[in-house]
Structure formats: structure tokens, C-alpha cells
């Protein structure tokens, strides 16, 4: 995903298609492949990010004097930050493709991962790699930066998505240089910048003078845990409606909403994984339906298990049980 060719393939790839009325039944192999990918539901974070990105891109379209306003997508792990970022990037890429005249080879979206222990030079190299800009070991950071700014401007990049921003640590000398480099880049490239990272507001990214500069330019979108209310049931109904199982009874997942919320701590990434794994298990064992018994047998990511198992054990060992 961190090169333009890979991102373009992702953007143009047909999304997984739920079963349609009147459609011939798919084979078990086809349904296993479908559930391994599965659909992406429009969470509140995706909706908010899409709306704000559109607004900020218009707002900054003719701004020249200073860096354009930016966005930061923050939240705990497995809450859908990267998914939201990629879905908005895909939408922007496809919108440009639909409007583009024949021969228009502009690049509307760039997607870059902050490398671990990022320095100004390694971060600059990641930006260069996305558009295939040649970089040699002898090049200075300034030389790479000049090439990046020239190429991104010539390519017409209008949206820059920067993931794993929490890896940037302005408290170290190399991290401070990387933060300064990124600030300089936002002033030299005419694009809207969107950052995503784990709990950014409590990380080093927002600390000190450099953090204040970023916070002063960026709006925040919180990809927190999903609330345990009616909206959670609606999301479960959407996920259930996308299942391709021959014996699953509609309404089971929404009725299990309190259990599923506690089981996954309200994290969309953990919830999606749980349902996908359960669907695959149901196909493999021939039951073709998801039940609470089946869901309880599935081991989730460590964060979700650490949240749920102690609570389940406490209920089982409560006096009188």
C-alpha cells in the first residue's frame, strides 16, 4: 500500500460483495475467501473523516501563505483508524479517476507509513519511495526533500495520508528533526495532510513546542470504542446482513450486542475479526451459523482477551453462582 501502484490497485479493486437476492449460491471456497476479506461498514469515524477531509480540501485549495489545516485520527489499537484512513483515500482516488480526462496521470493521494525510530532522512525516503523517486545513500536529507517536494507538486498530490504517526518522538533529537521536516513539508506541498496514530493526544507527538504547532493546525477525530447503545446494534445488523452462511438466523448478532461489546471492548477491529473468524469456523464445521457458543471458542487479539476474560471469570466465580 505504501507505493502508488499498490495503492492504486487497492483503490480500484472491487470490494467484497455480500450475497445478493436471486444470486446462485457460492461454493464453500468462495465464501471462505469472501469472509476472509469481508465488507467494510461505514462507522461514525469513517463518516466524520470523509466529511471533514472533503471540507478541509476545499478550505485549503487556494491557501498559499501557510500550511493548510490538517486532521489527526487518534484512538486505541484496533479501533479502525487505518481502515478509516484507507477508505477516505480510496474515495478521493476514485473521485479523481472519474473526473480525469484521458491522459491525466496526476496522483491524487499519497499514503505513507512513519518508520520505527523515524529520522528526517528515513521519513523523507518513505515519501520518495511512494512515488518511486530514486534515493541513494549519498543523498542528503535536503536533496531528498527537494526531489519529494518537486515530484509531489508536479504529480498533483492533493491528499497526504500519514499512518503510525505515534512512532514520531519529538523528545529525541532525531525525532525532533523528523517532526520539523514534516512541518516543513506541509508548507511546501499544496496538499491536505491527515495523520493517524495510537492515542496521539497522550503520546510524545503532542508534547512541547513542536507538538503545540501540530495541535494548533490539526482537528481531531477520535476513533474510540463503539458505544454500547442502539448504534452498536445497527452496526451488528449491517455486519450480519453481509454474512454468507446458509443456516444463520437473522437477528442473532444484534441480540448478542451486550456480549459482543464486552467481548471486544467496543473495538471495531476486534469485532470484525471475531465475526469473520466465526463465519469461517461455521463454514468449516458445517454448522453454517454463528452462535454465542461458537463465538466463545474463538481466541481474539490479546487486547480484547485481556479486557474480556477477567470479567468473564469474575462472573463465573461470583458467590451464589
Residue that wins the pLDDT comparison between 204 and 262 = 262
Question: Rounded CA gap, 226 and 149, in Å?
Answer: 39
Distances (CA, A) of 93 to 49, 56, 157: 15, 16, 10
pLDDT at 142: 97
pLDDT at 208: 75
φ/ψ of 108, rounded to 5, equals -75, -30
Specify the pTM.
0.87
CB neighbour class for 108 (10 Å; exposed up to 12, middle 13-18, buried from 19): buried
- Which pLDDT band, with edges at 50, 70 and 90, does 227 fall under? confident
Q: Which of 152, 93, 159 is nearest to 128 (CA)?
A: 152
**pLDDT per residue over 183-221, tens digit each?**
899 889 989 999 999 998 888 787 777 777 777 778 889
Residue that wins the pLDDT comparison between 60 and 20 = 20
Beta bridge partners of 160: 110, 193
**Mean pLDDT computed over 58-66:** 71
Grid cell digits, residue 273: 475479526
Using alpha carbons only, give the angle 159, 133, 7 rounded to the nearest 5 degrees.
Answer: 45
Using alpha carbons only, give the angle 28, 33, 35 rounded to the nearest 5 degrees.
Answer: 95
Q: Is 317 left (phi over 0), alpha (psi -120 to 50) or beta?
A: alpha
Grid cell digits, residue 292: 454465542
Question: Rounded CA gap, 42 and 223, in Å?
Answer: 13
Residue that wins the pLDDT comparison between 48 and 68 = 48
**Mean pLDDT computed over 65-81:** 83
pLDDT at 313: 45
Residue that wins the pLDDT comparison between 233 and 148 = 148
Amino acid at each position: 500500500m505504501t507505493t502508488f501502484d499498490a495503492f492504486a490497485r487497492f483503490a480500484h479493486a472491487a470490494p467484497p460483495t455480500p450475497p445478493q437476492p436471486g444470486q446462485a449460491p457460492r461454493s464453500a471456497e468462495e465464501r471462505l475467501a469472501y469472509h476472509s476479506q469481508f465488507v467494510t461498514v461505514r462507522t461514525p469515524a469513517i463518516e466524520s473523516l470523509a466529511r471533514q477531509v472533503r471540507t478541509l480540501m476545499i478550505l485549503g485549495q487556494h491557501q498559499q501563505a501557510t500550511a493548510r489545516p490538517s486532521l489527526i485520527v487518534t484512538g486505541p489499537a484496533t479501533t479502525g483508524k487505518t481502515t478509516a484512513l484507507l477508505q477516505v483515500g480510496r474515495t478521493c482516488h476514485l473521485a479523481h479517476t472519474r473526473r480525469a480526462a484521458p491522459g491525466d496521470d496526476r496522483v491524487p493521494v499519497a499514503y505513507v507509513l512513519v518508520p520505527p525510530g523515524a529520522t528526517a532522512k528515513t521519513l523523507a525516503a518513505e515519501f520518495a519511495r511512494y512515488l518511486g523517486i530514486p534515493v541513494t545513500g549519498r543523498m542528503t536529507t535536503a536533496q531528498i526533500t527537494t526531489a519529494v517536494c518537486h515530484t509531489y507538486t508536479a504529480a498533483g498530490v492533493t491528499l497526504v495520508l500519514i499512518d503510525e504517526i505515534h512512532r514520531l518522538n519529538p523528545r529525541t533529537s532525531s525525532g525532533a528533526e523528523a517532526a520539523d521536516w514534516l512541518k516543513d513539508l506541509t508548507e511546501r506541498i499544496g496538499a491536505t495532510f491527515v495523520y493517524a496514530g495510537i492515542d496521539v493526544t497522550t503520546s510524545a507527538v503532542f508534547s512541547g513546542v513542536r507538538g503545540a504547532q501540530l495541535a494548533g493546525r490539526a482537528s481531531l477525530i477520535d476513533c474510540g470504542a463503539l458505544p454500547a447503545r442502539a448504534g452498536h446494534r445497527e452496526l451488528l445488523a449491517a455486519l450480519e446482513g453481509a454474512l454468507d452462511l446458509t443456516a444463520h438466523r437473522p437477528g442473532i448478532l444484534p441480540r448478542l450486542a451486550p456480549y459482543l461489546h464486552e467481548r471486544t471492548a467496543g473495538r471495531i477491529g476486534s469485532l470484525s475479526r471475531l465475526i469473520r473468524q466465526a463465519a469461517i469456523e461455521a463454514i468449516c464445521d458445517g454448522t453454517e451459523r454463528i452462535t454465542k457458543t461458537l463465538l466463545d471458542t474463538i481466541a481474539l487479539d490479546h487486547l480484547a482477551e485481556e479486557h474480556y476474560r477477567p470479567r468473564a471469570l469474575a462472573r463465573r466465580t461470583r458467590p451464589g453462582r
